[in-house]
């Protein structure tokens, strides 16, 4: 039987498997370290300060680009590398409860990219 992802996660929580109830900044150390490294590489290339870059990115992620997270292929590779963490983050912020059209995604690939971008932003907020 095929289950929805949300049902799968909820079922895992009910059976005692460790689940995520909130976005705890102490979680996701691997993905946070990777994003921090990507931001530092971007700053090394273009200059600036870490804190200022984070603030700018949070205010306007469309205009502020992070090296290695610019084109769709890079974003998809990032998703493949950290898919478990990304899926947990998105589940926790109820991303999967919304229609893909709400995210302006009209295909599975676009939905994966939009979700990865959303999770990336959530991790940046934890830094």
Specify whether the CB–CB gap between 123 and 94 falls below 8 A: no
**Residue ranges for the chain with pLDDT beneath 70:** 1-26
- Whether residue 68 is contained in a domain is answered as yes
> Domain count of the chain?
1
- Whether residue 45 is contained in a domain is answered as yes
Separation of first and last alpha carbons in the chain: 39
- Whether residue 6 is contained in a domain is answered as no
The label of the residue with tokens 């999967």 reads 96
- Whether residue 8 is contained in a domain is answered as no
pLDDT at site 19: 41
Specify whether the CB–CB gap between 74 and 112 falls below 8 A: no
Angle at 80 between CA 48 and CA 45, to 5 degrees: 15
The two tokens of residue 45 are 């290339």
Q: Is the pTM of this model over 0.75?
A: yes
């Amino acid at each position: 039987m095929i289950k929805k992802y949300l049902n799968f996660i909820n079922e895992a929580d009910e059976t005692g498997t460790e689940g995520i109830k909130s976005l705890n900044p102490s979680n996701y150390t691997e993905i946070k370290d990777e994003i921090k490294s990507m931001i530092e590489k971007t700053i090394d290339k273009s200059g600036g300060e870490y804190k200022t870059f984070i603030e700018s990115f949070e205010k306007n992620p469309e205009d502020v680009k992070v090296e290695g997270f610019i084109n769709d292929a890079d974003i998809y590779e990032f998703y493949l590398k950290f898919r478990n963490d990304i899926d947990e983050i998105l589940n926790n912020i109820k991303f999967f409860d919304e229609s893909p059209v709400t995210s302006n995604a009209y295909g599975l690939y676009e939905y994966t990219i939009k979700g990865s971008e959303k999770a990336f932003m959530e991790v940046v907020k934890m830094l």
